[in-house]
Amino acid sequence: MNTPAHLIFGLAAFGKVDAPSVTAAALAGALIPDLTLYLMAGTHLLLLGTDPQVVFGQLYFSERWQAIFRIDNSIVLWGMGLVFAIWARSVWAIALCGAALLHLGLDFLLHHDDGRAHFWPLTTWKFRSPVSYWDPNHYGQIVGLIEIAVSLALCAVLWRRFRGRAMRGLIALLALAETVPAILFSIMFAAT
């Protein structure tokens, strides 16, 4: 799934209206599994000027990058964190680990050939889902529309749940971040 969708899902599942630290932890947990990708890809694309084809066609699949992804995308490690958080009765840590595990569970189901080794350190095996959130060869157009529809429905739920201006601004921003790229891509590719 796209990162904005992960943030929306994590916020809907684990955010709490009267607990800003729990809500922040839910957002952080939903983001952390993608954070190293943004940092490494951003460094190459924006600072080093590496061609996007190289970043996403070679570096993404390189052993060095995959070794890093194994850590922040490990269901095993996040699961251990969740068990500890529950044992400690830490609501914010439960939100953090729960949102990360939700992110990883959805990624596990929606990545075909670009998935990660979610069960590291036990194994480096990668599940090749028959469906993809983006790849049209694996129902990406359908799954992508479902992702957007569910994300917008959850944004409506979040809008009703959170009344503060800052949170509503964040919800609106997440809704835009989830929908605008799809609209732009459909316009760009319709013109060609």
pLDDT in tens, 77-106: 999 999 999 999 999 999 999 999 999 999
Q: What is the CA radius of gyration of the chain?
A: 17
pLDDT for 169 equals: 98
Give me the mean pLDDT over the 103-117 stretch: 96
**Amino acid type, 115:** G
Could you report how far apart the first and last alpha carbons of the chain are, in Å? 26
Tens of pLDDT, residue by residue over 44-70, are 999 999 999 999 999 999 999 999 999
Distance CA 117, CA 122 (A): 10
| Distances in whole angstroms, Cα of residue 132 to Cα of each of 16, 31, 97, 125, 154 | 30, 19, 24, 18, 21
Report the C-alpha gap between 106 and 9 in whole angstroms: 10
Q: Average pLDDT of the chain?
A: 94
Q: For residue 177, what are the CA distances in angstroms to 1, 77, 127, 141? A: 13, 29, 28, 18
Segment 124-183, tens digit of pLDDT: 999 999 999 988 999 999 999 999 999 999 999 999 999 999 999 999 999 999 999 777
Q: Does 191 score more than 60 pLDDT?
A: no
CB distance 95 to 78 below 8 Å: no
Which pLDDT band holds residue 185 (cuts at 50, 70, 90)?
Answer: low
In angstroms, the CA 113 to CA 94 distance is 30
Q: Where are the domains of the chain?
A: 3-191
Cα–Cα distance between 15 and 98 in angstroms, integer?
11
Most distant CA pair in the chain, distance? 56
pLDDT bucket at 119, cuts 50 / 70 / 90: very high
Q: What is the pLDDT of residue 181?
A: 79
What pLDDT score does 66 carry?
97
Task: Tokens for 59, please give them.
Answer: 């570096």
